[in-house]
Structure 1
């Protein structure tokens, strides 16, 4: 009886889980038995492994081959186990020393010719290997830079199964991969391209400074999409920990940009209004994959033409926006994805979407109300900033003299405001005004009652809910940070209230 063991990694959400791969050879009718809750892709790997082993110049054992994937209760999905299965089989027959593969972690999909192909989720897999104490990981060459982001792990980048076998058998060694320096990212869209729209520019600046959700309404051509696309450029670059989180999500989703293994810039996701619930929040019939909300983690999720989205799909955002994470349950397991994203909604004021505004609108009041009612009240109550954009005037478009402020100039103010908020919130575990609980905000940093007079009257009239009152306070603190003030005054409360009630008044 011949037995060999090695390691691979499975994915549960955006986290890796070590999987022990065992191969046992026994006398009997030549067959391969694969156990350990494999999905269809893993079951088909037996044929890929057999062809890859033979085409790499080795014999596949003509015996009863039992392959076990442990822990047996965890579903195994994807093609990333191919390399580990092939190496474990070759170790069982003695082609490579069994002791050399016992602590090795192997990842990669095999082609029928023995070539190694890239797979998703290599970064969280390498992180899982490092947490479990493994010090060497073999990955496809195309995933090497991604795996090399993990400290304390030696990455061996291979292009073929034969190359891995030669290295393990004492032949040509695979050198430890050194991560290449990333190419500089091209600049994103510039806020200087947005002509006019003082209120809209102010809104995206406040949203960036405090991490607030934003709702823009206005006629076609008013600049709603342009403003939303320029919001990520106002956000500070991701720090090391945040960059690793975002990169791990992109790795699992298969959206990691080529040549840039570490995502430093806040992401921007803009799904079409035909997106399903699974596409927006995550899911899938097989492996549970992150949706657009998760892929926008620490970045911006932009929903253009928001009323065209199914109302049920939009309402699934309510709980994840509050919690900062979403858990997807399926019959064979569940997965949790982080989703602390800024939501930006954009909408026309009515179905006809006349560029000339209300003067040329052909919609009846009932049609306008029905169109606007597609966005539920509970969802809108979670939006801090609601700004109505007017149509761009001829004077602003053709006769504008002073050039608008660029993204670089506004981003400096945003960075200073965020630093002020972080200093004030030190010791609370929070860094953004939008995340401060209302009770903590009122008790620890009370605003003078004279400054709250307008907001209190709006609360009494029913224009504001209690949740809305707290959100006005958060926005006011962001406005104070942008202005360099120690406490919001009446002007900041009035501006925050105006941004909150702008749509209601429109």
Structure 2
């Protein structure tokens, strides 16, 4: 007898429905086809034990299972429950009238209990698109799937519950979530706050500008000057995630099984801080069975690269295309996967290997040659994609010992949100533009027009400070953001003057 049960496979961050066809015929044997990986091939041992411990069994006949479409690679242990229910239905051990209405997924333990699986949110979205009535899955994943409306989601703890649901009509408890209400209730304010930072008012201003325009930023300063502390507090002044952004972000984290939150949706902007020993595959994504990398996990959030020159040059170079296109494409012989990667890059570095170049108060100096060699680890094209360069100086004792707290992140965030609203209105006719940092040359010419005084100031600055040509567009974009923060429709000379300060690494003679 032939029966069909439905599961799903995730490729990139999109799901594809998998039809599991189970056929029982005369003879003996167990044949699983349709490009399953080793985890799926081993499932017959888990299924046999789980059924036996719940008073059912795999029939002693010729069992052929096909996972269609047969030319797509299937991986992972999440098909255990799908295969088990298909075997029981094909062998007439349970009724099968309603099987075609449900997507069934879950990893089985030997006692029949269910373990959580990955990629639940994309699977639920696909199930709703294809008209399935419900989704049966492990209870630990139920809230994540219930984010999708117009789909019945049943979280179960044991295969026995699923068997009784189909065979005896025993009801399962449906997981229901008001997605919008839950999301708004769980919009927690980030743990780190700018009020904890003593002094560094100019750097705080720089971070505010970066947040307001979505600009990439690099912090240059000696150890202990507060670079990491400032970077960790950047998410606290970014605008809160929208519901759409939260869904996009949760889909990516769902694929890697990183969705441990109460509401089922990620409610805070991601902050990813990979170690400098990371490989290029781990950073951008990939592998034999491609998975999202750190730059995709930072989508709609912040990617912080501490001690930038310590990263391997090959690792940094693979970031150039994602920084420009805000997505990363991974190609294999059989398929191509695209992951979104719209993130803010925040990098930090010491000005020299010792960290104390040109510091007269430090005994650990560095020569100009050592510094050139150290800075040479970062390529020009990568620096070209970083709008703001800022030098961070150590905080004096008088500032550290002050009891008065600085401006809170909540106050700064209000100004950032107002500036972002101006940009949303400016780019309302574009589907891909959301912030000033995303403008290309054509859009810069349209939205960053200068009067004669501002133009002369920029010209003189580029000539006298030796600013490179690549700094020109970056200064205009940053100046546009500074104007937005001041609610100014036009870019004024003051805005240009401030933006010029944020191009330290482009100045001739910066290396001493």
TM-score category, normalised to shorter length: over 0.9
Q: Within 1, Cα distance between the matches of 2:60 and 2:39?
A: 23
Tell me which residue corresponds to 1:353. Answer: 355
Q: Distance in 1 between matches of 2:443 and 2:465?
A: 23
Q: Which of the numbers 478, 483, 489 marks the counterpart of 1:480?
A: 483
Alignment length, in residue pairs? 502
The CA distance in 2 between the partners of 1:152 and 1:235, in whole Å, is 32
Give the TM-score normalised by the residue count of structure 2.
Answer: 0.94
**Kept in 1: contact 2:448–2:480 (CA 8 A):** no
Counterparts of residues 282-431 of structure 1 (less than 5 Å): 282-285=285-288, 287-354=289-356, 357-360=359-362, 361-398=364-401, 400=402, 402-429=404-431, 430-431=433-434
Indicate yes or no: 2:24 matched with 1:25.
yes
Q: Is the 8 A contact 1:269 1:295 kept in 2?
A: yes
Give the distance between the partners of 1:51 and 1:161, measured in 2 at CA. Answer: 12
Does the Cα contact within 8 Å between 2:34 and 2:72 map onto a contact in 1?
yes
User: Contact (CA 8 Å) 2:7, 2:18: kept in 1 or not?
Assistant: yes
Alpha-carbon contact 2:137-2:156 (below 8 Å) kept: yes
C-alpha distance in 1 between matches for 2:222 and 2:359: 6
Residue matched to 1:492: 495
Q: Which residue of 2 aligns with 1:237?
A: 240
Cα distance, 1:334 vs structure 2: 3.2
Segment of structure 1 superposing worse, 53-62 or 311-320: 53-62
Tell me the CA shift for residue 128 of structure 1.
1.1
SS at match of 2:31: strand
Alpha-carbon separation, structure 2, partners of 1:115 and 1:186 = 36
5 Å matches for 1:257-296?
257-285=260-288, 287-296=289-298
1:198 is aligned to 201
Hey, what's the Cα distance between the residues in 2 that align with 1:75 and 1:141?
Answer: 26
- What CA deviation, in whole Å up to 9, does each residue of 1:152-176 have, x standing for no partner? 1100111111110000112421022
**Equivalence for 1:89:** 87
Answer whether contact 1:327 1:335 (CA < 8 A) is retained.
Answer: yes
How many Å separate the matches in 2 of 1:62 and 1:293? 49
Q: 1:357 touches 1:391 (CA, 8 Å); kept in 2? A: no
**Equivalent residues of 2:36, 2:74 under 8 A apart:** yes
Normalized against structure 1, the TM-score is what? 0.95
CA drift of 1:458 comes to 5.2
Contact between 1:388 and 1:502, CA under 8 Å: does it hold in 2? no
Q: Distance in 1 between matches of 2:470 and 2:48?
A: 61
Q: Kindly state the Cα deviation for residue 265 of structure 1 after the two structures are TM-superposed.
A: 1.2
Per-residue CA distance 1:265-287 (angstroms, 9 max, x = gap): 111000011111111111223x2
Distance 2:297 2:193 in 1: 23
Instruction: Give the conservation status (yes or no) of the 8 Å contact 1:122–1:146.
Output: yes
Paired with 2:80 and 2:336, the residues of 1 have a C-alpha distance of 24
- After superposition, the Cα gap between the structure-2 partners of 1:490 and 1:60, relative to the gap in structure 1 and judged at 3 Å, is same
Distance 1:99 1:271 in 2: 50
Q: CA deviation at 1:444?
A: 5.0
Q: Given the alignment of the two structures, is residue 118 of structure 1 paired with residue 131 of structure 2, yes or no?
A: no
Deviations 1:217-276 (Å, cap 9, x if unpaired)?
A: 001111100110000111111111110010111111222124242112111000011111
Q: Which runs of 5+ in 1 are unaligned?
A: none
1:452-491 equivalence runs, <5 A: 452-457=455-460, 463-491=466-494
User: Is the 8 Å Cα contact of residues 387 and 503 (structure 1) preserved in structure 2?
Assistant: no
Native 8 Å contact 2:448 2:476 kept in 1: no
Unaligned runs of 5+ in 2: none
Give the equivalent residue in structure 2 for 1:50: 48
For structure 1, which segment, 433-442 or 222-231, has the greater mean C-alpha deviation from structure 2 after superposition? 433-442
Deviation at 1:403, TM superposition (A): 2.9
Distance in 2 (CA, whole Å) between partners of 1:358 and 1:86 is 72
* Match of residue 252 from structure 1: 255
Partners in 2 of 1:64 and 1:38 — Cα distance? 19
Q: Distance in 2 between matches of 1:255 and 1:366?
A: 44
